[in-house]
Chains A and B, each alone.
Chain A
Amino acid sequence: MPTPSSLLALIGVACGAFALTNAASAQSKPVTIPVLVPLTGFLSLEGTSQRNGADLALREVADDSVRYDVSDTATSPEVAVNALERAMTGDNVVAVVAPMLGTQMLALVPLADEFKVPLVTVSGTAKITELGSPNVYRFFPGDVVVKQAHARYAVEELGIKKPAVVFQTTAYGQSGRVELTRNLQALGSPPVIEEAIDVSVKDMLPVLSKVRAAGADALLLHLHAGSTALVIKQARAAGINLPIIAGSAMHQPQTAALLEPSELAGVCAESGSSPISGGNPKIDDFAKRYRAAFDSEPDAFALGQYDAVRMILAAVNAGARTPDAIRQALANNSHDGLAMRYRSDGKGNMAHDAVIICYDGAGRTPNIVKRYENVTGAR
């Protein structure tokens, strides 16, 4: 008959074995990383790039230790919220690739705090990392970074004194306009004119005529892809050959495809990176794999999201198997991605570098002409 002490020892051994089995099970259990991106609606071009970047990174996981499903969040916050609620019913969800549409992110952040799950995104909307949430991680330089590069290149490199700022009436456009104007003023070249245009505007002659009348010596754009191409096309047709420094939409190959190479002469743009510009063997390899997988050209949104997922996967490989462990890794570690080195500034802003790309007028592949590293000094 077992003595009380031996019975206690037996129970202790059984508990230990159970705990070890559970730990081993947690280590071997696949983790899930849902991908929620806008694949339809007005942001489907950028959303598809975001999906492709995440997809490419997740495909590279050789075994079945990581699972993922892609959901379309379209353009409304409600659809995004439903998609996250549905995704969180999945097994062992440790992080979520969240939509780049700022209004959707603003709706998702409180929900992510409730679920205690980290969101990784390439949304540029400044406010998403200003809500005090520990669950938002942005892998694309925000307006604070890229608009400083935008303004500095115009003023310091091109010597622009009287810039015209044309921005979209959307949240994206207004957020960028504030940063761009603030930086231009700080550099001593305040805008001579600021004009807002809706995404539905087709004829840009009214705004271009005002730019000409204001005596601007450069056109600084912060517009979505279609509006960017329309302004450039119609400016060149109207004989307005001012230097144009555009927002990140102009770095996308699909935007350049709308314009003739001659119309692109004198056009530059800010971006987080430019994967098609070449010059870096690792990024060239990424571009090659991207083209093979999706039969299209990669852009900075795809590369940023690829880097974000690679950072999560690195944490998973290092033993992080819970949302909390992934959050700790994102908040405290740095990651040498393909586009840049990522590290949180304490608010979830991971990207602190920007590039300026320019077109030479002979083709549609831009060259990186200037790099701005650690712009905010947060890294």
Chain B
Amino acid sequence: MFAAQLALNALALGAAYALVAIGFVLVLNATTAVNFGHGDTVVAGGFLAVALATLMPGELAVPGLVLLPAILALMALFGALMSWLVYLPIRDRPPVTTFITTIAFGIIIANGVNALFGGAPRSAPTLIGGGGFSAGELFLSRQSVAIVGVSAVLIAGLALLLNRTQLGRQLRACAQDPEMAQAVGIHLTRMTVITFALAAALAGAAGLLLANQFFVTPSDGGVLMLKAYIAVTIGGWGSLRGAVAGALLIAAFEVAVASQISQPVAEGLLYVTLFIVLFFRPQGLFGEPVGQRA
């Protein structure tokens, strides 16, 4: 029963991490550059949820779920703005330039949030109310179940968008071969802006999901960015399936492995696993062999 409890907790945490990692991969594929400000975008989403919650009537039973569409829309706009500010003006420069601009943008987000809300941890509203259900020793918290459900819907929606729509095909074409995509008439800049918007929307949703059960502070961005980076490296650089698998693996180490040994040792073992994966399968669990994509 305890193992089931651990599995549920790991699944809820991993589902939220997966949204973070997927947003990270989308931008990575579209720009071939790492967005180091992605963790801070998640923090921005969490604080947006905190701010919007103050506008909601207190008696509403499902404030978090009601807020979700607004957060997705506002964060998408934020992502578009981010692309115009930190990527498009320097897209022809070496990738290291993008590293610097996204790091700077992340610092601006963190310090801006700190100035607006203060440095204290804050809690966003629950998605569908607090409490939960007990089955023997197993406790199903409503929030955990809602996190898994909302994450699954968002990931499935993204998969449908990418695989079943013309926009999705254009986005994938730009990610796979930007020059060829442009040659056949796809507007590369527009696709890049849409990609940033999608990534930020998912980051905002992750911020909302994480900020109730696990709180949010202005300085959380660095840690979330690191988790996304590790998830994508383990899962496969550029692979959406890999990002989800990597995120779930991180959560499994944080919850299940840590319950058997100490948390610091579990964290160390996660990095050992990362080294092993990189040694035996440098392209990651779901990545393409090096050179195949070209």
Contact assessment for B258 and A45 in the assembled complex, using a CB-CB cutoff below 8 Å: no
Interface-forming stretch among A111-119, A222-230, A300-308?
Answer: A222-230
Q: Which residues 223-262 in A have Cβ within 8 Å of B in the complex? A: 225-226, 229-230, 237-239, 252, 254-255, 257-258
**Residue B141 interfacial (CB < 8 Å):** yes
Q: Which residues 105-148 in B have Cβ within 8 Å of A in the complex? A: 110-111, 114, 118-123, 132, 139, 141
A205 partner residues in chain B, CB cutoff 8 A: 5-6, 9, 255, 259
Interface size on A, residues (CB 8 A): 37
Contact assessment for B259 and A196 in the assembled complex, using a CB-CB cutoff below 8 Å: no
A46 partner residues in chain B, CB cutoff 8 A: 119
Give the dominant DSSP class at A's interface: mixed
Give the dominant DSSP class at B's interface: helix
Given the complex of chains A and B, what is the CA–CA distance between A40 and B10 in angstroms?
A: 31
B-binding residues in A (CB < 8 A): 39-48, 169, 195-198, 200-203, 205-207, 209-210, 225-226, 229-230, 237-239, 252, 254-255, 257-258, 296
A48 partner residues in chain B, CB cutoff 8 A: 118-119
* Nearest CB of B to A65, in Å: 31
A198 partner residues in chain B, CB cutoff 8 A: 263-264, 267
Contact assessment for A206 and B6 in the assembled complex, using a CB-CB cutoff below 8 Å: yes
The residue in A41, A43, A48 that gathers the most chain B C-beta atoms within 10 A of its C-beta is: A41
* Nearest CB of A to B120, in Å: 4
Contact assessment for A195 and B262 in the assembled complex, using a CB-CB cutoff below 8 Å: yes
A41 partner residues in chain B, CB cutoff 8 A: 119, 219
Closest chain A residue to B107, Cβ basis: A40
* Nearest CB of B to A40, in Å: 5
Interface size on B, residues (CB 8 A): 37
Contact assessment for B118 and A230 in the assembled complex, using a CB-CB cutoff below 8 Å: no
Q: With A42-B217, A44-B219 as given contacts, are A207 and B263 in contact (CB-CB < 8 Å)?
A: yes
Contact assessment for A226 and B217 in the assembled complex, using a CB-CB cutoff below 8 Å: yes
Q: A45-B120, A206-B263, A258-B122 are known contacts; what are 12 more A-B pairs with Cβ within 8 Å?
A: A41-B219, A44-B119, A44-B218, A196-B263, A197-B264, A198-B263, A198-B264, A206-B256, A207-B258, A229-B215, A237-B139, A254-B121
Q: Which residues 1-20 in B have Cβ within 8 Å of A in the complex? A: 2, 5-6, 9-10, 13
